[in-house]
Structure 1
């Protein structure tokens, strides 16, 4: 079957070549590695790869214990997550899908800002969750058949960029096929440009059992390119998996018109099921965090919490929001984070009324508040923390009253973050909404209605959190909270600058957000190192409490 031109062009990213001093990003050159390898060696090995810098040292396109022992412990694939845990995740996933099914999980490619200038790479978190593989242009195929595959019941194949010494001079080492087998534990490994050929086989060859499915988030309809005229909606509502990527063509070309050279529809196209949509298996597995995940999330929260302390201490009248942004970024990176987990909100004064204010270019003025919504990413896991503090280090009386009201409501919600309370995120939203309505009615000396509270408090109290900041969005907020889930609790009040409200409260925006692990009878606040009591915040701003490394 013919593969469309844009697919060939996109997958050529997997095998660039160099000519002189210029990189040819869409070269059609032949890869230097063999076309297929099958694992017959232990998962973890001290094998010397082509790009190793020392004898016995394993070089990949990401940190490993061999190359970064200060970041990765022996036996771990990524910080805090062991090879054994990744294997158990794949086993649980395989156990949860019908026999004979084939799961296809595609990673991301590099995103480019312009020309040859690329953004920092971030992997598709479904692929990362199942493999720990953190290089561009990769995919996993998991084939379940309980009647074979050495009693394990499934086969795990990685498609990756082969090793290419001439390219690695420019871009650094790659895991290659050998690394996919040795380090990531794949049963077999292929070059990424072989993936379309394998997809054709998956879609056209009969599946072994009647209930078998093809499970993937690769689209089965032709993608639409981004349009400058069409509205994409609110940024927070954007899908976690971009629709327009090189991989978006991998299945869509099966829908070519009847005038094409391949008018026949593939046998298995109607058996395609979503990987991460409603009622899908993988989001349910990701929803409950393991002990290893919780420890990594603890570290992510600890790093970001200390970053908030450092940023509070750096605040004074006349500093710019951009400067505070940079303080937070530096604070998390120097403590071991990969960077900020999202573009932070650093909103001074009335800018805090814009929920996703990310311009971060104004000057912080004496008497105003700073609302900073910022987290770090450690080992692939996010933290998401919001704190509000006075620019000059001292809350005014009205600021203190409004802040205390929001803090009171946040604590009431956190008290319900346990399995025993038998609540869901929607229940917590209703609780926060009603409590904030009571508190604001007291402060504004009049009874507030539902519609007005929607203006003062226009967002939800929380969301799932993990590898993604807004994790597993297909899980409904009506799901009861259970031990091992991780959520945020983030009530806020944003008082419009209008005559409807007492002058002393106008233009004030306050949000307090913590990351919380659900327990049976209690909870763990992962972001506890970011101070939120008024006395503690003022002490940090006054320099009475030092930052910790």
Structure 2
């Protein structure tokens, strides 16, 4: 792995939080992700299942974590199964976890080779009454591929039909949403790497560069700072491309007078950062661009101040909508009649700001976390309002990642990344 080792104490704490909410005589199983094929002998780069990583720190394929707090044998309260390595694997694929290394990474004392899983698991299931399955229940999930976890669930239900089934996800939604100090430190590193990439690009952009050249500059800076690369597919949208919310082509020339909306950020140690900045290709905002930019920034700053313990996510978005409505009226994009006659299910401001303002961020860019209960300290949210004006040929979005504090304003993990219009111009023209 490119990242520095993470102290296993984090994963020990995470497992304790999960096991504390398990039912009596229950067992929970977490499978690694598959390595996905793309044709012939080619595969996508391996990405570990984030729940397994959160609970074990094991960043290797063909890994299984079993948690069984009520196991009769104390050594089976936490068990990690890893792929046994050999000389052939070492030559072709490189070093894999030994049992000793797996313990050091995870803090789990009982390590078995994966070939022992069926035998050991059968023995544990004779003691258990309930099994927790790790199904994906994220509110944005739209998975069509059968996963390793899916196959395990099918197999387990067939082989152990008399057991009761439960869901790991409600527990994970609760505990993963509130970050440990170590997690916030890792996310700060991801944001710091993103900062380096953005400052590099501010000195690179000029009329005539292509969007993909900007992408390459970011990737270079990210990888040289121990990141695998982008935390999600990068959006580098110049001109009217910014009005396509999930623009991914990144293949157009950046022209004099246009703006570039850049929604991209670095990952570090499997944790995401998530940044959006909008900059002028020629280094100077026009008067109209600046007016819209400052309006978006004001909404972002006011929305950020609302992220405090006790805030309800749904109500927060309604309040942000009111802030945006006021700004759109001031910009002449809406008039009073638009607001008075709006559809409550699709308010007038949605014509120019059609997405949400904040989501949890962590091991996933759109991370697990409670959304129907009040916000808590140490949750980490994005703040990303935008105004999109196709008829004027540009769109502006600004986004930072912030930590909710026990009291006072949220802590901005991207506080050192230039965002004021005059800062952007100064960096681009220095």
- Calculate the TM-score normalised by the size of structure 1: 0.72
More moved, 525-534 vs 346-355: 525-534
Q: Give the number of the structure whose residues are more often helix, by fraction.
A: 2
Runs of 4+ in 1 over 6 A off after TM superposition: none
Deviation at 1:406, TM superposition (A): 0.6
Deviation at 1:249, TM superposition (A): 1.8
Contact 1:418 1:522 in 2 (8 A): yes
The 5 A counterparts of 1:116-515 are 116-145=41-70, 149=74, 155-198=77-120, 205=126, 207=128, 212-217=129-134, 237-239=140-142, 243-253=145-155, 266-268=161-163, 271-276=164-169, 280-419=170-309, 422-444=310-332, 446-447=335-336, 448-449=338-339, 450=342, 451=346, 452-472=348-368, 475-476=370-371, 478-497=372-391, 506-515=392-401
Contact 2:58 2:105 in 1 (8 A): no
Question: 2 CA distance for matches of 1:327 and 1:299?
Answer: 19
Matched, 1:98 2:23: yes
Matched, 1:110 2:35: yes
Q: CA 1:254–1:287 in structure 2 vs 1: closer, same or farther (change >3 Å)?
A: closer
Deviation at 1:112, TM superposition (A): 2.2
Structure ranking higher on relative contact order (CA contacts 8 Å, 6+ apart): 2
Q: CA 1:188–1:287 in structure 2 vs 1: closer, same or farther (change >3 Å)?
A: same
Query: Which one has a bigger Cα radius of gyration?
Result: 1
Counterpart position of 1:36: none
Counterpart position of 1:527: 414
Q: CA 1:373–1:286 in structure 2 vs 1: closer, same or farther (change >3 Å)?
A: same
More moved, 81-90 vs 193-202: 193-202
Unaligned runs of 5+ residues in structure 1 are: 1-61, 64-70, 73-77, 220-235, 257-261, 498-505, 545-549
Deviation per residue, 1:195-235 (Å, 9 max, x gap): 345555566x353xxxx53112269xxxxxxxxxxxxxxxx
Deviation at 1:242, TM superposition (A): 6.7
SS state at 1:340 partner: coil
Question: 2 CA distance for matches of 1:147 and 1:158?
Answer: 17
Contact 1:163 1:177 in 2 (8 A): no
Question: 2 CA distance for matches of 1:364 and 1:307?
Answer: 18
Question: 2 CA distance for matches of 1:87 and 1:300?
Answer: 23
Question: 1 CA distance for matches of 2:17 and 2:46?
Answer: 28
How many pairs are equivalent?
Answer: 420
Unaligned runs of 5+ residues in structure 2 are: none
Counterpart position of 1:87: 12
